[in-house]
Amino acid sequence: MTDEQAFTDLDRGFARFLAERSRLSGANKNRFEALLLQLSAQQSAGHSCIAIGAEDREIVLASGLASADRATPLIAEAERLYLQRYWHYEERLARQLGALARQQFDAGHLEACLDRYFPSQGDEIDWQKTAAQAAVGQALSIITGGPGTGKTTTVLKILALLLETSLPALHIALAAPTGKAAMRLQESIVANKPGLACAAEVKARIPEQANTLHRLLGAKPPTPYFRHDAGNPLPYDVVVVDETSMVDLALMSKLVDALKPGSRLILLGDKDQLASVESGSVLADLSAGLAENTVELQKSHRFQGQIKQLAVAVNRQDAELAWQLLQEPNSAVRRLNGDPIDWIIENYAEYLQAIADGADPVRIFAAFNRFRVLCSNQRGHNSVGEINRRVEQELASRGKIRSGSIWYAGKPVMITANHAGMQLYNGDIGLCLNDAEHGGQLRVFFPRGEEFRKLLPARLPPWETVFAMTIHKSQGSEFENIVIALPDAVNPVLSKELLYTAITRAKKSVAVSAEQAIFDACVGHRVARYSGLAAKLQTYASGPNR
């Protein structure tokens, strides 16, 4: 990163502050400040460190503010430069996961149980069975795969296997990084548990409730600390984490810190999706650094046809094929020519009709969740802000909602800040509806299992309208039909990981609103976060920590 405009005032202030306190002068001091500027900017972009050469390493070490492994503000380790805190997260996580990866369990005689849960598929490799067999014998299991490959189905069978073959009874926790992802994991467990090929008492011992990682660990806002840590570990024998691609370096380090000795950790996710918003690309690094503990599920059981072809083309960065797929007539994937607003309104027609009919909230939520607009950006052309504003204007002009009113029956909102006291969390989605139990008064309904939490609009913590949402916010969600809206100019947010994540939210159809040049640039840009985690994991998993 060399563009002067890419650096913030915070980056410049940080670099100047440390450079002034170094032992350096002249050209070396200037070079040191330039490295600090780059480190601060790259940290904000999600990298845990930056690459440095031998000459820069000598300058950094001569500053008096860096060492190779001590509690100094900076750590210069081999060819990498870290802020001390992120080096600590990475180093500690690598050591702990390396030790966990080496820990084995006696799997016993599993063949009969495995055959019961995973009937023979002939000569075809059953990757789910392979993952289950590995997971029973390992303390650390990483199960990756694209949409529809059966990650949660596989982990459900793994839990049943563990419960059948373990004494005493295991205590199991289910978790995900967001409330939305936790709810989807919970729904999958509940839906698939009755079909398990095991005794009723085994099914009864598999938990159905999934929590966010913050709730599992016992967040203590506004501090960055948790109730459960190395000194007060979690009480569980098995911890399952879904949507691990969304977990950042710091949170993963704190989770592993809180595991009790002898416990198992099972991580699920799609390594090709967007990395976490914060620092690191933990799932991708774990998959690369701990190959012996990783199984990739390769057969999709529900994700087929043109949507899969488009996702694969984008993931392989084949922009020509991807764009060609969008031009085919009568396809599940298409390009929207011109203004997408009419198409968006048409796809919300069932939802709007359910509200007009006075349908029950269950039906209204089901209709709303069949479709969503996914945007790359918050502001600008085809952004979340623009599309939400234009959809409301169009609905008002058609008489579908009351013009000029902030609140109306059918307004969808997303909570944008955690509020534990109200049991509302960042990413929770609610619908403003007429509440028959309160004389038709407008209230915002939030689903809570089979019930709804209903709040007056004025009581809500910070929120935003959500006819459209960012692709980042859509992670952990699934919709029948989506529109992907890209901007009219290339920007740093655009990447093939972003587009792949959006495409894989859809079950039935994908429509893309974008010009070819922008689409091609998006497919052509791959996000590669710089870290030392994968290399460290390979070292620490191969033998005793030194």
**Cα 511 to Cα 285: distance, rounded to the nearest angstrom:** 32
Phi-psi region of 112 (alpha: psi -120 to 50; beta: other; left: phi over 0): alpha
Find the length of the chain: 546
Which backbone phi and psi does 357 adopt, to 5 degrees?
-80, -10
108 is in an annotated binding site: no
The annotation status of 501 as a binding-site residue, yes or no, is: no
Is 145 annotated in some ligand binding site?
yes
pLDDT of residue 35: 97
Residue 410 labelled as part of a binding site: no
Structure tokens at 318: 């084949």
- How do residues 372-392 score in pLDDT, each as one tens digit? 999 999 999 999 999 999 999
Range(s) within the chain of domains with CATH label 3.40.50.300: 109-302, 305-524
pLDDT of residue 544: 58
How does DSSP assign 518-538, residue by residue?
HHHHHHH-------SHHHHHH
Q: Specify the DSSP class assigned to residue 238.
A: E
pLDDT score of 110: 80
The pLDDT profile of the chain, 546 residues, written as one tens digit per residue, is 444 447 999 999 999 999 999 999 999 999 999 999 999 999 988 999 999 999 999 999 999 999 988 889 999 998 999 999 999 999 999 999 999 999 998 876 788 889 899 988 777 889 999 999 999 999 999 999 988 889 999 999 999 999 988 767 899 999 999 888 888 899 899 999 999 999 999 999 999 999 999 999 998 877 888 999 999 999 999 999 999 999 999 999 999 999 999 999 999 999 999 888 888 889 999 999 999 999 999 887 767 789 999 999 999 999 999 999 999 888 899 999 999 999 999 999 999 999 999 999 999 999 999 999 999 999 999 999 999 999 999 999 998 887 778 999 999 999 998 787 788 888 889 999 999 998 899 999 999 877 899 999 999 999 999 999 999 999 888 899 999 999 999 998 999 999 999 999 999 999 999 999 999 999 999 988 899 999 999 999 887 544
Instruction: Let me know: does 265 contact 239? Beta carbons within 8 Å.
Output: yes
Q: Residue 225 burial by CB count (10 A; 0-12/13-18/19+): exposed, middle or buried?
A: exposed
Say whether 64 counts as a known binding-site residue: no
The answer to whether the annotation marks 447 as part of a ligand binding site is no
Q: What is the pLDDT of residue 508?
A: 94
The type of residue at 367 is A
pLDDT of 1: 41
pLDDT at residue 167, as a whole number: 66
Query: CB of 478 within 8 A of CB of 505?
Result: yes
At residue 219, the pLDDT reads 87
| Distance of alpha carbon 56 from alpha carbon 58, whole angstroms | 5
Q: At residue 279, what is the residue type?
A: S
pLDDT tens-digit readout, 17-27: 999 999 999 99
Look up residue 228 and give its two tokens. Answer: 């459960």
- Beta-bridge mates of residue 219: 226
Helix, strand, coil percent content, the chain, rounded in steps of 5 = 45, 20, 40
Amino acid making up residue 55: E
Question: What DSSP letter does each residue of 413-477 carry, written as one string?
Answer: EEE-S-BGGGTB-TT-EEEEEEEGGGTTEEEEEEEETTEEEEE-GGG--SEEE-SEEEHHHHTT-
Are 413 and 430 within 8 A, CB to CB?
yes
109-302 topology per CATH: Rossmann fold (3.40.50)
Contact between 178 and 330 (Cβ < 8 Å): no
Look up the CATH architecture of domain 305-524: 3-Layer(aba) Sandwich (3.40)
Tell me if 148 is assigned to a ligand binding site.
Answer: yes
Q: Determine the 3-state secondary structure of 332 from DSSP.
A: coil
- C-alpha distance across the termini of the chain, in Å: 35
How far apart CA 261 and CA 510 sit, in angstroms, is 46
Is 149 annotated in a binding site? The answer is: yes
Asked whether the beta carbons of 248 and 277 are under 8 A apart, the reply is yes
Cβ atoms within 10 Å, residue 254 = 21
The pTM score is 0.88
| 48 vs 107: CA distance, rounded Å | 37
Q: How far apart, in whole angstroms, are the C-alpha atoms of residue 165 and residue 199?
A: 13
